[in-house]
Structure 1
Amino acid sequence: MSEKLFDNAEALAGYAATRVAELCRDAVSENGVCHLVLAGGSTPKRCYELLREMKLPWGSLHIWFGDERCLPIGDAERNDTMADVALLAHVPVPPDHIHRMAAELGPEAAAAQYAEMLAAAPVMDIVLLGMGEDGHTASLFPDNPALQDERLAVPVFDSPKPPPERVSMGYGVLNGASHRLILVAGTGKADALARIRAGETLPIAVIAEGEWLIDRDAMMSMV
C-alpha cells in the first residue's frame, strides 16, 4: 500500500483536496471529463470544503457517491446532503452531472437503479474512501452479506451503525477505478489500521492498491 503520513487531519484534508484537484484536471485534460466518487465522513467533508475554493473544470466533472444511507431526501445524515453543504452548492457542477443514489426508495430498489447507472458509465477516474473504526469502507461492513454481493451497487441491511439500511458501490466499481484515495484520520482508526497491517482482511483491505493518506493519530499503535 502506498502511504503518506500527515501531522493531523487538517493537513491530510488539505493534501487530499490538492491531490483530487490534480487528478481531476489530469482526467479532463486527457478525456474531456472526470468521474469522481465522493465519500461520507468528517475527513472527506473537510476535503470538500477546501476543494470548493480551488479552480477546477467543474463543468466537466461527474459526481458519484460511494454509498448512501436510506433516509429521506435532504436528511442531514445523508452523504449527498453533506456533499451539497460542503461542496456541491458552491461550485458550478451541472445538476445532471450529479448522480445521486435514490436511497429513499430502500436498499434493493436504490441499488438496482444505481447499478443501471453505473453500467452505462465509464470507469471511475477517482474514488475517495474513508475507513470506519471497524475497518468498513463505503457501507461495506465486516461480516455483512453485502461483501459477497458482486453487483455494481449493492443493498446493505443490518448495518452495525445507524441507519441499518444503506446502499453501497460494490467492490467491482471501487477496485476498477483509475485512482483510489483512502483517508484515515483519528485515534479511533488506529486499531483497525493495526489489524490490517497484521494481515486481517477487513473490508477496506479488499480495496485494490490505492493512496493511503493517514494522520499521526491513526498511526499511534504503529509508531
Structure 2
Amino acid sequence: MMQLNQFADTQALNAVFANRLTDILQQAIQERGAAYLVVSGGKTPQALFTALSQTQLAWDKVTVLLADDRWLDDSQPDSNERLVKATLLQHNASAARFISLYANTSTAFDGAPQVLERVKNLPTFDAVILGMGEDGHTASLFPCSEQIKQGLAADAPAVLAVAPTTAPYQRISLSAARLLNSRQLFLHLVGANKLAVLDKAMAGDDVYAMPIRAFLQHPVATVTVMYTAN
C-alpha cells in the first residue's frame, strides 16, 4: 500500500521529513531504549541528512545502517558509507552507532557472510528510507541482476551480494524481507521523472520487472512516499 505526500520543494519536504523521523526515533527510544534507522545513499537524501544530523535526539541510542552500498571502502567517492558519514553522522548525530555493509574482501559475494553476521540479529527497524531508480530498483534490488529473485524472496537472508548488469560495481543489499521488517517505510523521491516511474510501478504488478512494487503493493505494509518535483 502507498500513501503519497507531495511538497512544494525540497526545503519543505526535508523540514517535515526530518521532524517526522526525529519523532519516530524519539518514540522508539522512549518505548524500547534504542532506535534503528535504515537510510539510502545517492544525491537525493543529502540535504535531509544534514537537517536530521542537527536535531535534538539521544543519538547515542540510535543505530544507523544503509539499505545497500556499492562494494567500495569509505575512502572511495562512490561509497554510500562515505556519504552517510559526511552528511548524517555529523553534529548531534555523530554520537550514533553505525553498522557498515562493507568488509575487506575482494568481492561482495566473499564479504556478504561477514556483513550478515552484523545484521542478522537486529530487531525490527523503526524507520527505513528507500530510494528508487529509473528502472524501478530500490536498495540494490536490481531487475537486471541474477540475484533479484533471491532478494525478493520471503525467506531471503537479511543481506545478499548483488551484481547488477546495468550499473557499476558489485553491491551489498538488505533483502526486501529484511527491509519490510520495519515499523515505518518511506520512499524519498525528488523530480518529476520519479513521479512518472512511480506511476508506472503502480500500474503493473511484476515485481521482478520493477522491484519497488514489492513494497508499494505489499498487502500489509504501508509505504509513505515523500515527494517533490523540485
Give the TM-score normalised by the residue count of structure 1: 0.89
Identify which range, 181-190 or 166-175, moves more after superposition.
Answer: 181-190
* Aligned residue among 164, 183, 188 for 1:183: 188
Aligned residue pair count: 215
Secondary structure of the corresponding residue to residue 213 of structure 1: strand
Q: Deviations over 1:143-187 (max 9, x none)?
A: 422222212101011341222x11000011101111111101112
The equivalent of 1:100 in structure 2 is 100
Amino acid at match of 1:174: L
133 and 194 in structure 1: CA distance in 2 versus 1, 3 angstrom threshold = same
Residue in 1 aligned with 2:54? 53
Task: Report the CA distance between 1:72 and its aligned residue.
Answer: 2.9
**2:163 equivalent among 157, 162, 176:** 157
Identity of aligned residues (%): 27
- 1:55-98 alpha-carbon deviations (Å, 9 max, x no partner): 01101001111101012332121111001111213335447x21
Mapped pair 1:196 → 2:201: yes
**Which shifted more, 53-62 or 115-124?**
115-124
Q: Distance in 1 between matches of 2:17 and 2:134?
A: 20
Q: Contact 1:159 / 1:166 at 8 angstroms: preserved in 2? A: no
Q: Is the 8 A contact 1:68 1:103 kept in 2?
A: no
Q: Mark the runs of 5 or more structure 1 residues left unpaired by the alignment.
A: 218-223
Distance 1:146 1:103 in 2: 20
| Partner Cα separation in structure 2 for residue 175 and residue 128 of structure 1 | 11
Q: Residue 137 of structure 1: CA displacement? A: 0.7
Q: CA deviation at 1:43?
A: 2.0
Contact 1:129 1:137 in 2 (8 A): yes
How far apart are 1:139 and its partner, in Å? 0.8
1:205 aligns with 2:213: yes
Structure 2 unmatched ranges of 5 or more: 151-155, 216-220
Task: Provide the rounded CA distance (Å) in 2 between the counterparts of 1:89 and 1:50.
Answer: 10
Q: Please provide the CA RMSD for this pair.
A: 1.8
Q: What TM-score does the superposition give when structure 2 sets the normalisation length? A: 0.86
Deviations 1:8-46 (A, max 9, x none): 233222222111111010100100000111111222111
CA distance in 1, matches of 2:222, 2:9: 23
